[in-house]
Chain A
Amino acid sequence: MPPLSGRRVTALRIRVEHALRPWRRANPMARRLVLLGSVITLGFAFLAAFPSLVAPYGEAQYRHVVGTNEDPAAAEGRCGDEFECEDIPRRLSPDTGFPFGTTSGRLDVLSRVVWGSRVAFSIVVLSTVLAMGIGVPLGLISGYRGGKLDRVLVTLMDAIYVIPGLLLAIIIAFVLKAYFAPGLLSAAAAVGVVYIPQYYRVIRNHTLSVKQEPFVEAARSLGAKPNTIIGRYVLFNVVQSVPVIFTLNAADAVLTLAGLGFLGYGVPYPQAEWGLDVSRAISDVVSGFWWTAFWPGLAIMLLVTGLTLVGEGLNDIINPLLRVRGFRGRVPRRLEPAPAADTPVEVNLSPAPTQENP
């Protein structure tokens, strides 16, 4: 690569400046909330990526080698021969060795919470891949082709969209359970189906408007096949809405997964899933042990708050239509009809389609 010339650097800087402009113009409160959300989300992402750095014990570890936190199952040799083993105490209230306490199944709650973030992130990613993988192509084809296919798909997606997310996820999990062993994949499928209509709708509507652009007409008049037009010209113009939908859906997906897990249709025990852990703690609550239910639930709440702050904040900031700078109270007349920066989030709003880079 040639060394960067002065001109190039300037050009680059202008681009970066341009990309950052919405962020600079956003009101300081909105920026602070997005930053807070990012810190929370990245914190959980770190836990999900490196759980063993933070968690003192393994996901389903109920005993340890005396003197260390090591799981005897993973260690060389057998308990009683090469080393002494000790069970993790049951229902220990939070104290020095176990900051979040232990469960009736001899599991360390802190470790469960940390490992649970891995399950949460895996499911969010997998379910998004599924929802995008089905919703985006269907939306492209439906929007570009139009006609009967479009009408059928719109009706179908609306029908799916009407069913409450959790209920739909339960039904899918229920049906999948008859064919597959429950696990990460089937839980992700159950959660993912809920979000297909949202990707489909946004992509379809966006495709409808991009279809009218002159460059699509130009491509068509040059004899490009529909597949080429969709794949090369339409796709890259509509795909920019996807990250926005993702950030908005991710928070909801975590809650849906937790609800599934709570009802017992998520990933199977002993995998660490927060909703499942809360449901297993119900009997503890009756006898007054608060810590087994408290921490996993708090983790859900924190992660969902973080994701919501990032998603809605970014949506407000990126979306130029919704941007009004820090006004207090009333807005001068000439700024109408731009609504306030915190207008309800409309998923299908996105910047005007951009032409291919010149």
Chain B
Amino acid sequence: MPGDPISAALGDRLSAEQIEVRRQAAGLNDPILVQYGRYLGGVVQGDLGTPATDPRNVRQIVFDLVPATFELTMFAMVVAVVIGILVGAIGARYRDGPFDVGGRIFGIVIYAAPVFWLGILAQLLFANRWGLLPSGNRISARIVFEDPTGFYLLDGIITGNWALWSGALKHLLLPGMTLGLVISGVFIRMVRVNMLQTLRADYVEAAQARGVANRRVVFAHAFKNALVPVVTIMGLQFALLLGGAILTETTFSWPGLGQALVEFINRRDYAAVQGIVTFFAIMIVIVSLLIDIINGLLDPRVRY
């Protein structure tokens, strides 16, 4: 990295010797590998580093901002899964019919749309032109509330504060729907393909042979089994969702980790950027692990 935090902060105020002393004390003169080992040791103990431009340490920043990001991404995930399952399953049932073709084209086109562009169009229509929904931030400044968890929807229920709950939901709708719609393109395709494969399975034929109603075969017998791989996809999409969250948060000035990351990059705060990126990476690994475990529970054929 060019320069270091000490000469960047104090370079014009201290002499070269004094800076050298401080560099030595901060361990910046050690070999890179030693410094890296020290950093990893800190990460293992939950120390993600100390930003140069923010009084909080990275762990504190993450704790403060992660609820906003997770509320957004989870809402988006629900939107994506619901749309994906509905459109995908119905499309597979009436394969190559108008609904199926329409759904597939929708899936490709919506996935091709840049999420920030959809967000801006949504703001333009729903917030500016029609004034239906707010278009930035998580909650309006007028509402007084307590936030024990930081997840405003949850806090609203816990504290019985309905103004908070409905306000948070209104603020969440535009960014959450935008991100969810974009991600739903993947789900539509995956659910459809899984459903088509499941519909060819022997037990489906067996059910039909026993005279079970067609609707029941599709939506009770095949559907459940087609959903197992969807869990895997949800895990794989998590990384995509985080990437999308960076753009969505910037578009909707949503005070989450993604927006903070962009701000720290603009301020060239290497320590903060490194800490947040490390946190993202840890989250992705944890989610992948969880997905593997859930898969094992859902599908008895999976063995590790």
Contact = CB atoms under 8 A, between A and B. Distances in A.
A288 B128 contact: yes
Contacts of B117: 278, 293, 296-298, 300-301
B281 A166 contact: no
A288 B117 CA distance: 15
A170 B192 CA distance: 33
Nearest to A289: B124
Interface in B238-267: 239-240, 242-244, 246-247, 250-251, 261-262, 265-266
Interface in B1-54: 1-2
A79 B37 CA distance: 63
Contacts of B113: 297, 300-301, 304
Nearest to A306: B112
A125 interface: no
Interface stretch (A18-26, A62-70, A137-145, A256-264): A256-264
Which of B240, B244, B265 neighbours the largest number of chain A CB atoms within 10 Å of its CB? B265
A285 B112 contact: no
Nearest to B266: A264
A17 B24 CA distance: 72
B258 to A, nearest CB: 9
B237 to A, nearest CB: 10
A281 B120 contact: yes
Contact of B197 (A166, A179, A339): A339
A31 to B, nearest CB: 14
B124 A285 contact: yes
Given A262-B250, A343-B193, A162 B114 contact: no
B114 A297 contact: yes
Contacts of B108: 305, 308-309
B239 A164 contact: yes
Interface in A284-329: 285-286, 288, 290, 293-294, 296-298, 300-302, 304-305, 308-309, 328-329
A279 B117 CA distance: 9
A101 interface: no
B40 to A, nearest CB: 14
Contacts of B1: 175, 178
Interface of B: 1-2, 95-96, 101, 104, 108-109, 111-114, 116-118, 120-121, 123-124, 128-129, 189-190, 192-193, 196-197, 199-200, 239-240, 242-244, 246-247, 250-251, 261-262, 265-266, 268, 273, 277, 280-281, 284-285, 288
